[in-house]
Amino acid sequence: MPGIGPRTAQRLALHLLRQPEEKIRSFADALLAARSQVGQCQKCFHLSADPICEICKNTEREKDLLCVIADSRDLLALERTREYKGLYHVLGGLISPLDGVGPEMLMISSLVKRVDQEGVREVILALPPSVEGDTTSLYVSRLIKPFAKVSRIAYGLPMGSELEYADEVTLARALEGRTTMD
């Protein structure tokens, strides 16, 4: 399991062995229940126990604004900001020819269909600043442009950072992506 090395694994195993049997049984049942009940939202492909997730169901959210992310962890990160009020679309990964991931393996055609059919006004690409992220952003933006405005989250200096310690590529992107002050 990610982040669990041999020593931590041993500590957890010994801890579990010390628990009463009914506690272990309910833990095992919870794991099985989670595995069988948590699926994907049929609209946005976020993790969900229901066919349509809580975010897609929420009538308070802006229906004509879609934020495209690589996976559910990124969606949770954006939700923590409490700034975004639109809906999401989880691609399920990034285009990566080296890893054998082509566009047809991601939820891209369903995204285009959604944008076309649901009258989406703007699609915000919130993919990570990397070769795979940039490739995927470019690919998706070409398909979406006939239907809606396409924007990309800003790449630049993170909050609290200093120019002096920023790497050259980040600084160059921050210069290139400068915005007019109004």
- Which residues bind to a second copy, rule: CB under 8 A? 67, 69-70, 73-74, 76-78, 80-84, 124-126, 128-130, 137, 141, 145, 149-164, 166-181
| CB 156 to a second copy: min, Å | 3
| CB 78 to a second copy: min, Å | 6
Task: Provide the greatest CA pair distance for the chain.
Answer: 65
In the complex with a second copy, the residue whose CB is nearer, 36 or 179, is 179
| CB 61 to a second copy: min, Å | 15
In the complex with a second copy, the residue whose CB is nearer, 24 or 169, is 169
In the complex with a second copy, the residue whose CB is nearer, 56 or 132, is 132
In the complex with a second copy, the residue whose CB is nearer, 7 or 178, is 178
| CB 167 to a second copy: min, Å | 6
Q: Is 68 within 8 Å of 78 (Cβ atoms)?
A: no
Least Cα distance to 88 among 134, 41, 140, 18 occurs for: 41
Distance of alpha carbon 170 from alpha carbon 163, whole angstroms? 9
With helix as H, strand as E and coil as C, how does 138-149 read?
HHHHHHHCCCCE
Spatial CB neighbours of 145, under 8 Å, sequence gap ≥ 6: none
Least Cα distance to 86 among 117, 36, 122 occurs for: 122
In the complex with a second copy, the residue whose CB is nearer, 55 or 166, is 166
| CB 68 to a second copy: min, Å | 11
How far from 117 is each of 45, 65, 87, 111, 150, CA to CA, in Å?
Answer: 17, 13, 15, 10, 16
Could you tell me how far CA 54 lies from the centroid of its own chain?
16
For residue 64, the one-letter residue type is D
